[in-house]
Structure 1
Amino acid sequence: MAYDVARIRSAFPSLESGWAQFDGPGGTQTPRAVGEAVASVLTGPLSNRGTSSVSERRAEDAVHGFRLAMADFADAHPRGIVHGRSATQLTYDFSRHLSREWGPGDEIVVTSLDHDSNVRPWVQAAERVGATVRWAHFDPATGELPVEAVTGLLGERTRLVAITAASNLIGTMPDVAAVAEAAHAVGALVWADGVHSSAHELPDLGELGADFLTCSPYKFLGPHCGVLVSRAELLERIVPDKLLPATDVVPERFEFGTLPYELLAGVTAAVDVLAGLAAPVGAASDAAATTDAAASRRARLQASYAGLHEHESRLLARIEAAVAELPGTTLHSRAARRTPTLLLTFADHEASAVSERLADVKVLAPSSNFYALEASRRLGLGDAGGLRIGLAPYTDDEDVDRLLAGLAAALR
């Protein structure tokens, strides 16, 4: 059915604040259902996982539900779903796990397009073991990261390629599948940062071709945590340092300490909300109760993302057309395939000052390098970055009207 943004907005209590939120790339607003799921698990009977009591079973159900939901979300297997405090933490953890097998002469590839969380952990791990770091650079004039810029660096000693599925700064979506095919041909692993892309493009681990994919549920309506998606058989080959009595079962052996069951329930609720974007209120919970809930949820996610893509594309076209008319404004988001994320700088105004002027009229569009430090520097913006405008499922035409009016006023 048609994408009903008014219905969707009604599920977000925070939007009653009156702010137009264009800070989605940094974290979306949270729907009521997610907050209720967190509160329900946290305040109901709750113990460590087990089967003897209702409190133990509720913890077990939260973990099981989380793995099923994220497996549906990424078209993966539940045994390949690893929870972490953040995508950064998961990347640091696995940089230590994987680099145990690296040494002098080995090589890793990172890109200047990436968020620093998919750069620094690998660079630092390589430095510790004496491996070589090779840099793949994007074209600042077009925002594109050509496949050959990455594949041209591959060789028989390449151990890992770290690449973003979408730039959180300028939205560029590289051809990860083509890079992965070339990397696998030389025996290298591929670590894809899907934190930004997952909010706009439904992830598919097999289609992406990566061995590892990270994402952050708080970027797509969920609570603050991180998720790693991989294949169970690959995780079986990776041996982390862990406490002696801790389980050796995959994926639990990578999740150190007691899990935050309430956050896991919140992630499951967020996936269900996403699956219901293109359906009437209540349809998601009804469908989830059916015997083919997993297949149904994936199909509903696909329908929702199709509707979301159409909605965001229309709003993005409006913003881009108006921005092109703003004097002294440079749009750095230029790649042919990208998310609805725009980075702007201004000839006669600091981006931070424009951001403050927008905040005066309750429009939130922050200014920063947003931890994409190498990308900001390659664009010639130094560490300051620019003004970032990001769309989310709840963004509507009135929000866009206010943004465009605010920008025009700030630049006068």
Structure 2
Amino acid sequence: MVASGANRARRSSKRPRSPRALYETTRSRTCSRASISQASTRLLPWAGRPLACPTMEGLHDIRARFPAVDGRWARFDGPAGTQVVDAAIEAAADWQRSGNNANSHGSFAAAEACDALVEATSATMGRLLGADPGGMVFGPSTTANMMALTRAIGRGLGPGDEVVCTTLDHDSNVSPWLLLAEDTGCMVHIAEFDPSTGRLSVDAVLDLVGPDTQWVAVTGSSNAVGTIPDVAAIVAGAHAGGARVVVDGVHLTPHRAVDVSKLGCDVYTTSSYKWYGPHAGIMWVEPGLLDDLDAYNVRPAPDRGPGRLQYGTPSWEGLAGIEAAARFLLDVGLDRIAASEAVRFDRLLSGLHDLAGVRVVGPQDAADRAPTLMFEVAGVAPLTVADALAERRVAVWDGHNYAVEAMGPLGLDAKAGAVRAGVSVYTTDEDVDRLLAAVADVVAGAAG
């Protein structure tokens, strides 16, 4: 159910877990931290190895780290997926050549290397997110991870329980909750952002949090217009009301330094293919909560830890790429990345403002937002604009970009949406000028 009405009486949200000890394989084992660390040193030579990072002010030479970014295209499609950094490509390839492509918890060296890889990747992700490495869940995507999480949460919810979502979120942080409501009878309330500014206020969320609210789901940054809510304040207010909080950090992580320990959230999601790594989703779940969830999984699955929400054997080469991409962000520094991107984004935003017939959607300034925007060209469908830019080798997206709930408030067609452009670490001034020139051509064509 979806509503914004009265609160309901809280019900017990705990069900006993089915015992799994009967089904645990007798061969399963856990390597000691010492043996994993030794295996990491011996079998994962790239893990922990410092990366060669640019030193030039403004990261002008960073493009050399991206084999696919060769100047033929101006890439503004990063919000949907970035190009892959060399270290992540090499780490994945090294793993596949290593002979370690086995499975975990075995007696032989390749199996030990799998355990070492999980620990190394979890540790690096813990550094990147400022979070306990013991809560790192690895899956194919954030959408898949959220479906697994909400399915587990749903076993303890029913009529009378409430969830708060927002209109600013990507649908991976909305639809799983709506499906949960269909299955359990709980109520979903939707907090609305201000369409004139593209910003979601703390009060807009907390005004919907009541004594029956079990979960609040909020974005760390809009994947449509880039705005960044005050997540820490939302988390604090939700916790004060007795609710837990999921933060969708997919669009925030590539552009800002994140410290989950300061945000205080219970769950934080991100996707490595949005920050120069392989296609994968990483979901941090507070370890105590992780062990308490009544997760769906096969009978031999572990009863504690991240494996409770992971379905099947992970992509080992994917984990190797995730670790290398996360280390790339750490070694370059998110503050340096943000500063460099801000220069390109200011150039893009001001250039679009200067073009007659172009409307920037939502916020008109660059404050408190990731370097992502949406725009329209008067009289030209967004798909037509995107096609015209592609003919000029400028890559942008059109449509709703999975920010389904945001389209109506922004005055956009639910399907056609608008044109979206995002700045990434490898974006240059020349790229921005190519996009602006291409848009100017579209405007001229529409006028004449």
* Partner in structure 1 of residue 17 of structure 2: none
Instruction: Please list the CA deviations of residues 117-145 of structure 1 after superposition, one character each: whole Å capped at 9, or x if unmatched.
Output: 10010011012111111110111111111
Q: CA deviation at 1:150?
A: 0.7
* Partner in structure 1 of residue 370 of structure 2: 339
1:321 paired with 2:330, answer: no
Note the aligned Cα RMSD (angstroms).
1.4
* Partner in structure 1 of residue 164 of structure 2: 109
* Partner in structure 2 of residue 357 of structure 1: 388
1:80, 1:230 within 8 Å by CA — same for their partners in 2?
yes
Identify which of 101, 104, 108 aligns with 1:53.
108
Q: CA deviation at 1:17?
A: 6.0
Q: CA deviation at 1:332?
A: 1.4
Equivalents in 2 of 1:106, 1:26: separation in Å? 34
* Partner in structure 2 of residue 281 of structure 1: none
Q: CA deviation at 1:26?
A: 0.4
Counterpart mapping for 1:149-164 below 5 A:
149-164=204-219
* Partner in structure 1 of residue 427 of structure 2: 395
Equivalents in 1 of 2:382, 2:310: separation in Å? 40
2:412 is paired with a residue whose SS is coil
Identify which of 130, 151, 154 aligns with 1:99.
154
Give the counterpart letter for 2:83 in structure 1: Q
* Partner in structure 2 of residue 204 of structure 1: 259
Equivalents in 2 of 1:410, 1:346: separation in Å? 8
1:134 is paired with a residue whose SS is strand
Give the counterpart letter for 1:175 in structure 2: D
1:168 paired with 2:223, answer: yes
2:151, 2:296 within 8 Å by CA — same for their partners in 1?
no
Structure 2 unaligned spans of 5+: 1-54
Tell me which protein shows more helix as a share of its residues. 1
Q: Which moved more, 1:397-406 or 1:261-270?
A: 397-406
* Partner in structure 2 of residue 194 of structure 1: 249
Give the counterpart letter for 1:43 in structure 2: R
2:137 is paired with a residue whose SS is strand
* Partner in structure 2 of residue 384 of structure 1: 416
Give the counterpart letter for 2:377 in structure 1: F
Give the counterpart letter for 2:406 in structure 1: A
Counterpart mapping for 1:16-55 below 5 A:
16=70, 18-46=72-100, 47-50=102-105, 52-55=107-110
1:247 is paired with a residue whose SS is coil
Q: CA deviation at 1:4?
A: 5.0
1:119 paired with 2:151, answer: no
Give the counterpart letter for 1:411 in structure 2: V
Instruction: Please list the CA deviations of residues 206-261 of structure 1 after superposition, one character each: whole Å capped at 9, or x if unmatched.
Output: 22221101000000001001011122122121121222222223022221211111
1:243 paired with 2:302, answer: no
Counterpart mapping for 1:5-16 below 5 A:
5-16=59-70
2:221 is paired with a residue whose SS is coil
1:62, 1:262 within 8 Å by CA — same for their partners in 2?
no
Query: Given the superposition, is the C-alpha separation of residues 332 and 166 from structure 1 closer, same or farther in structure 2, using an over 3 Å criterion?
Result: same
Q: CA deviation at 1:40?
A: 1.2
Q: CA deviation at 1:377?
A: 2.1
Give the counterpart letter for 2:344 in structure 1: L
Counterpart mapping for 1:219-238 below 5 A:
219-238=274-293
Instruction: Please list the CA deviations of residues 82-127 of structure 1 after superposition, one character each: whole Å capped at 9, or x if unmatched.
Output: 1111100111111111121111111111111111110010011012
Identify which of 214, 230, 242 aligns with 2:269.
214
2:129, 2:259 within 8 Å by CA — same for their partners in 1?
yes
* Partner in structure 1 of residue 18 of structure 2: none
2:290, 2:304 within 8 Å by CA — same for their partners in 1?
no
1:155 is paired with a residue whose SS is coil
Equivalents in 1 of 2:200, 2:362: separation in Å? 12
* Partner in structure 1 of residue 8 of structure 2: none
* Partner in structure 2 of residue 272 of structure 1: 327
1:159 is paired with a residue whose SS is strand
2:166, 2:192 within 8 Å by CA — same for their partners in 1?
yes
Equivalents in 2 of 1:276, 1:34: separation in Å? 13
Runs of 4+ in structure 1 off by over 2 angstroms are: 1-7, 50-54
1:378 is paired with a residue whose SS is coil
- Paired-residue identity, %: 39
* Partner in structure 1 of residue 400 of structure 2: 369
1:41, 1:58 within 8 Å by CA — same for their partners in 2?
no
Q: CA deviation at 1:313?
A: 1.0
Instruction: Please list the CA deviations of residues 244-288 of structure 1 after superposition, one character each: whole Å capped at 9, or x if unmatched.
Output: 2222230222212111111000000101222232xxxxxxxxxxx
Instruction: Please list the CA deviations of residues 20-62 of structure 1 after superposition, one character each: whole Å capped at 9, or x if unmatched.
Output: 1001100100012211111111222121123532321221221
1:227 is paired with a residue whose SS is strand
Instruction: Please list the CA deviations of residues 282-323 of structure 1 after superposition, one character each: whole Å capped at 9, or x if unmatched.
Output: xxxxxxxxxxxxxxxxxxxxxx11111111111111111111
1:112, 1:137 within 8 Å by CA — same for their partners in 2?
yes
* Partner in structure 2 of residue 410 of structure 1: 442
Give the counterpart letter for 1:11 in structure 2: R
Q: CA deviation at 1:184?
A: 0.6
1:312 paired with 2:366, answer: no
* Partner in structure 1 of residue 129 of structure 2: 74
1:76, 1:230 within 8 Å by CA — same for their partners in 2?
no
2:396, 2:419 within 8 Å by CA — same for their partners in 1?
yes
2:399, 2:416 within 8 Å by CA — same for their partners in 1?
yes
Tell me the TM-score normalized by structure 1.
0.91
1:176, 1:209 within 8 Å by CA — same for their partners in 2?
no
Q: Which moved more, 1:252-261 or 1:383-392?
A: 252-261
Q: CA deviation at 1:6?
A: 3.9
1:140 is paired with a residue whose SS is coil
* Partner in structure 2 of residue 300 of structure 1: none
Tell me the TM-score normalized by structure 2.
0.84
